[in-house]
């Protein structure tokens, strides 16, 4: 196994997924839930993110080509999804999630596009395209799994923060998380628009 490549994959994906930055958003979305549901949301989000990243690592370019979808379009779609979630957090509509919404929160926006977003997908696809032989593929797989384990650990123990903040603190954190999510969404959409403009400029 190429340990240097493993380290590159681990550091790159860890920076992109940003577990410390994910924690306030996770707490804002799952804070009112019982501890068992919150823990379930953590592993569901990580499992989905791992699945999405693996699928795109194996067949990402083929899938996008078949659907005639460019990466900027995927990026813009992720931004629009985050805008919807951010509006719910800012307006307080997501303050009382039902039991049914636990998995929904885990899948969107936590699993994707926050954890398995355009950045993580593109980075993984590039690593796979540059890989040579089984040793490199093994290192990439080990790096991806290690990052997902690290993310799960951070989310799993976010319950400590929930106990410290109490309901009032969680409500304040929810509004802040909504603002942060809105900023991330706008940045994703802006980057996608810029990519489309650059592509159009090159084709003209």
Do the beta carbons of residue 80 and residue 196 sit within 8 Å? no
Tell me the domain boundaries of the chain: 3-93+110-203
pLDDT per position as a tens digit, 60-99: 889 888 999 888 888 898 889 888 888 888 887 655 544 4
Task: Report the sign of the C-alpha dihedral through residues 60, 66, 70, 75, in that order.
Answer: negative
Mean pLDDT over all residues of the chain? Answer: 87
pLDDT per position as a tens digit, 126-135: 899 889 999 9
Q: How far apart are CA 74 and CA 192, in angstroms?
A: 8
When pLDDT is averaged across residues 137-147 and rounded to a whole number, the result is 96
Kindly indicate the confidence band of residue 102, based on its pLDDT and cuts at 50, 70 and 90: low
Question: How large is the angle between the packed helices 159-203 and 19-30, nearest 10 degrees?
Answer: 120
Name the percent of the chain lying above pLDDT 70: 95
Tokens of 201: 């400029």
Residues constituting the chain: 204
Q: In the prediction, which pLDDT does 99 show? A: 45
pLDDT of residue 163 exceeding 50, the answer is: yes
């Amino acid at each position: 196994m190429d340990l240097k490549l493993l380290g590159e994959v681990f550091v790159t994906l860890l920076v992109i997924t940003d577990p410390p930055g994910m924690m306030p958003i996770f707490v804002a979305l799952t804070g009112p839930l019982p501890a068992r549901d919150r823990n379930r949301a953590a592993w569901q989000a990580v499992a989905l993110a791992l699945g999405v990243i693996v699928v795109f690592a194996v067949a990402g370019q083929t899938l996008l080509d078949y659907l005639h979808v460019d990466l900027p379009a995927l990026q813009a779609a992720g931004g629009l999804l985050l805008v919807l979630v951010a509006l719910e957090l800012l307006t307080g509509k997501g303050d009382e999630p039902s039991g049914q919404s636990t998995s929904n929160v885990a899948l969107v926006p936590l699993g994707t596009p926050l954890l398995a977003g355009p950045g993580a997908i593109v980075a993984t696809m590039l690593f796979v395209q540059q890989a040579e032989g089984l040793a490199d593929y093994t290192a990439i797989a080990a790096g991806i799994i290690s990052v997902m384990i690290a993310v799960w650990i951070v989310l799993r123990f976010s319950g400590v923060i929930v106990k410290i903040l109490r309901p009032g603190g969680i409500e304040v954190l929810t509004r802040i998380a909504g603002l942060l999510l809105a900023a991330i969404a706008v940045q994703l959409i802006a980057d996608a628009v810029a990519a489309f403009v650059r592509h159009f400029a090159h084709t003209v």
